[in-house]
Structure formats: structure tokens, C-alpha cells
Structure 1
Amino acid sequence: MNHNTSPSTSTSTEHPVSTHSVFGAPCWVSLTSRDLKAAEEFYTAVLGWQWRTAKLGDQFRIAMVGEAPVAGIAAVAAMWQMAVAWTPYFAVRSADEAVSRVRERGGTAAVGPISLAPGRAALLADRDGATFGIWEGALFSDWETWREVSPAFIRLHTRDAFDAAIFYGEVLEWASDCPGCCEVHYEGGEVVLRSRGDVVARIVSGALEAAPDPTIRPHWQVHFAVDDPAACARDAERHGGSILHRSPDMVVLRDPDGAQFTVTSHHAR
């Protein structure tokens, strides 16, 4: 089976110099897990990923599609008392400024900003509790190249799409005058984020006229582009995962450790 994610990186330990021009867009996804070996085996079986070591230590791995880095795994859920989950990271000009904007708007900072070997990162939550990360620094590879093997997109399931769009727009400088920023549109009942014309994220909360749904636990869902979602689902079940929902073009899965993700047909991107 096949495919999918990507990262960002940097150079100096204090304030890495960004060498790209894409800001506010998703640039990496990372899995927080409890068992590194089990996660490697599962995602190799389901998505065909290969692995290389990361500079951060023995509990970290980088998933590869061919020569392209696509995702990270950090086996630190138990050690750091964090939830097992897939988390998207957004490219920002300044991690410190982005964290300040999150706090000013009612969000929280769980970790960081911290200096990592290639850049600076922070793990945050919006004011409804959805977890996301930010990244300051140069990308691991060309952004367009990453997009070819990256998640098809990420989607925020939340209680109020427009309120969430305002929050993220202010934090990540969407629809601003900043060069390289993302465009925000309302399309097909969803708030849609575009970068260089590509759809890179969606925010959904139900019908436009509907009141915010108090039963939704806001979260970012990562969609991986694959050739055959049904085959991925069968492989996931064979290797200890479970199917949460299926449709002709996509299947929502849970890995053996409990992390939820979606496999989406390439043509549905």
C-alpha cells in the first residue's frame, strides 16, 4: 500500500532562519505514540512507509516515502503524559509570536516554544481544545515536493467553524498582507484553507445555520492519500487496528495504540 506526510526544519538554536516562503500552512504531521516498534510495523504495513532515525533521540523516527520525509513518530506519550494522537504542524515566521497570539486569544501552550535540532516548535491547543503544533524554520524538503507525498489534507472538526477560522487566521496570519500567507474561503459547507492554490486544510462544524454542536470533541483529523483505501483498511485490521467509518473514497482508522487517522483516495484530494 502507499503514501504520505512531511515536515519542516531549521538551523539556528535560538531563532532559525526560514528559507521558504510558505507560512500558515500545514508543513508536517507527527504521531505521539507509546510503542515505537509497534507503530513502525503498523504504518509500514498500512501505508508502505520506511523509516530513518531522527536527530532528537532513540524515541523518534522519520517516516519516508522514497527519499522524501513525510511524518514523524515520537514514542513519548507515556513519558510526557500526552495523548496518543496525530498532530499537524503549521509553518510560522516566529514561534514565540505565534504562541503569544494563541494565549491572547484563549488558547493554551502545552509544550514550548522549544529549540530542536533543526528549528523551534510548540505544541498548542485552540480555545476549544483541538491540539496543533507550530514550526519555525526551514522545511526538510521543497514544499511542493512534500505536498505530493504529504497528507491529502487536514480537517478540523469543531463546534463553530467560523469562530475557529478567526482564531487560526489571527494566530497563523491567514488572509493577511504577509507574503506567502494562506487564503481562506467558504466552499461546499466548509471553511477551506488554500496555499498556492492547493487545498491544505478544511474546517467543518456542520450546517451553516446550525448552532454549534456541544457533543463534538474538537480535533484535527489527518487524511493520508493512498491508492486503495479499502486495502489499507484490511491491512489495518490485520495488524491490530480498527475501522471507525468507511465510505467509497475514504476510511477512518484507529491504530493499535489508539491514534485516529483517515486514508483518502488520491482522486478525492
Structure 2
Amino acid sequence: MTREPTAATASGAAATSSTVYGAPCWVSLMTRDLRAAHDFYGAVMGWEFRPARLGEEFSVALSGGRLIAGVGALASAFHVAVAWTPYFAVRNADVTAGRIRERSGTVAVGPVAFALGRGALAADRDGAVFGIWEGEVPTGWGAGRSAAPAWVRLHTRDAFEAAIFYGEVLDWACGRPGHCDVEYEGDEVVLRSAGRAVARLSSGALEEAPDPAIRPRWQVHFPVPDVEERMTAALRHGGTVISHEPGAQATLRDPDGGLFTLTDSGDADSAGDATGAADVDAPAMEPPD
């Protein structure tokens, strides 16, 4: 979980995991080489980095003073793949971790206490890795894809079955005020918070696929004003193009193997409200501090 500066100090009053309950509230990159990650994402995304309070292996990415993501050099220590991971806001991390285990998911790390909350790193029944966070979240997260600095999509074996798992774990579609709602659009599941789309779940991933790009996973999408320009910069700095829809989106692999997607910030689909949208002091697990 990489998280660091508080939302309150960075951009006004902070939201909490209770006010955006069940919604994505942070993303973090677990990598092997922090300096290399800074060089790549700084060149491609124009991000600036500053240290997180967890030590020299953690940092937080900012753009124009706005909190974007966490980065932690933990992949080697945890013996896990380099990956971008979304965190979901919860009221009680211990209760949620128990629900994950009860439903045949896995809790790999935590819940762990940090300065502004508690978090854990987990995986669902199909192996897609995600995090949970109880505490403050950065301004803009949980407010809908058009407002957040990133949005997420689950590529999974069966989106409807996955929606049941996450619904039971995160209280989606429970009908209580402030909780996320679920809608079905064709073969996709759309997660909405306060009426705004904040995530999508899509079927078709293959559990045993040798290519991690088509195995069950949460994919992090970053809206950018010029997909082609950023894609070219990624190639120039050692990245790889996995898929590309000219002008609309590009899925890339960073030099260390982390998958992420660039989407056109001017495209309604990239904001998540169109049915044709393409395919979180804290942890690289650290959500916002």
C-alpha cells in the first residue's frame, strides 16, 4: 500500500473510508526498483515524487500538487509480481479481512496500522489482487471516474460471480445510504458511488493463461490528454505496448513488468459512464497518508 501525504494537507478537507465506502480510494504500484519507477513514470506521466513516511522504499506520486498514487519497492521482499493495485474504502479492515477469508479469498498482508488508518493486501477467489483501506482517502477518490486521477476495471473469469464476491466483502448493493450500487450493462458490471461510475467488472479472463495480461486482475486506468504522446514516451523509456486503440487508449507494461492503461481524458468512455468503455504514512500497499 504506498500512501503518504494526507489529503487534508494536500488539497483541503479529507474524505474518509466511511464517506466513500466500498469505492476505489487509492492505487499503488508494487515494484522492485523505486528509482527506476520514478524515472519511467516521471518521464511518461509527468509525475513528481516525494518520500512517504514508511521509509526509503516508499514514495508518493503527485501531479500539480494532487495525490495520484503510491509506489513501493516491495515486490522482491514479498516475492510477488510487479503490479498496480487498487484499494477499496472500508469501515472496518478487520471485519472486511474476515469476510475475504470466509469467501475463499486470501489476505496476504495485514490489516496493518498506519498513521491515518489501517490497510491490507488481498486477492479474490480468482487471484485478482486488491487492497482494502480504513481511514482517510485523498480528495477526489471515490467521486467518480471523471474526478478521480485513476479508475479501475476488473478483468475476471465471470464478472457476475465476482460482483457477488466483492458485494459480500465490500457491502456493494446493500441498500444502505452511502454504499455503492451495482448495475448490469450487457456482459459487464458497473460499480457506482453516489450515482457515478467508479469501476467496471468484465468477464473473459483466463485463470491459467501464461500471459498475465489476460489472467484475472484489476487494471488501473489513468486518463491523459494525449494517449499517443504518452505511449511514445513509454516506448522511448523502455515500456512495451500490450494493446492500442489509436487516440482512445493504450495498455502498457513498464520496464519492470507493471501493467497499466492510458485512456483519453476527453473521451466519455474513459470517465466510465458510457456502456462501451474500453478494456491507496501508507503501504505499495500504502493508501493515502
State TM-score, norm by structure 1.
0.88
Q: Given the alignment of the two structures, is residue 205 of structure 1 paired with residue 203 of structure 2, yes or no?
A: yes
Q: Which amino acid aligns with 2:254?
A: D
The 2-side partners of 1:196 and 1:160 are apart by 25
Identical aligned residues as a percent: 54
In the alignment, what sits opposite 1:259?
258
Q: Indicate the SS of the match to 1:82.
A: coil
Residue identity in the other structure for 2:181:
E
The amino acid across from 1:157 in the alignment is H
Equivalent of residue 172 in structure 1, options 158, 170, 173: 170
- Misfit runs of 4+, over 2 Å: 6-10, 17-20, 140-149, 211-216
What is the alpha-carbon distance in structure 2 between the residues aligned to residue 102 and residue 213 of structure 1?
Answer: 19
Label 1:161 to 1:111 Cα distance change in 2 as closer, same or farther (>3 A).
same
Structure 2: runs of 5 or more not aligned: 8-14, 271-289
Deviations 1:104-163 (A, max 9, x none): 001010000011222100000001110000000012335449963511x21111111111
Report how many residues are paired.
254
Higher RCO structure, 1 or 2 (CA under 8 Å, sep 6+): 2
Cross-structure match for 2:59: 61
Please tell me whether the aligned partners of residues 86 and 131 of structure 2 are also in contact (alpha carbons under 8 angstroms): yes
C-alpha distance in 1 between matches for 2:208 and 2:34: 35
Does the CA contact (< 8 Å) of 2:117 and 2:136 recur in 1?
A: yes
Is structure 2 residue 157 aligned with structure 1 residue 159?
A: yes
SS in 2 for 1:37: helix
Match of 2:137 in 1: 139
Check the 8 A contact 1:7/1:29 in 2, yes or no.
Answer: no
Q: 1:105 to 1:170 in 2, by over 3 A?
A: same
Letter paired with 2:65: E
Contact 2:4/2:59 (<8 A) preserved? no
Query: Which of 119, 124, 128 is the equivalent residue of 2:122?
Result: 124
Q: Secondary structure at the match of 1:138?
A: strand
Q: For the residues of structure 2 that align with 1:48 and 1:212, how far apart are their CA atoms?
A: 34
Give structure 1 stretches of 5+ with no counterpart: 1-5, 11-16
Structure 1 position 233, deviation (Å) = 0.8
Q: What TM-score do you get using the length of structure 2 for normalisation?
A: 0.82
Work out whether residues 17 and 89 of structure 2, in 8 Å CA contact, stay in contact via their aligned partners in 1.
no
- What is the identity, as a one-letter code, of the residue corresponding to 2:134? E
Distance 1:55 1:202 in 2: 32
Q: Taking structure 1 as reference, are residues 243 and 19 closer, same or farther at Cα in structure 2, changes over 3 Å only?
A: closer
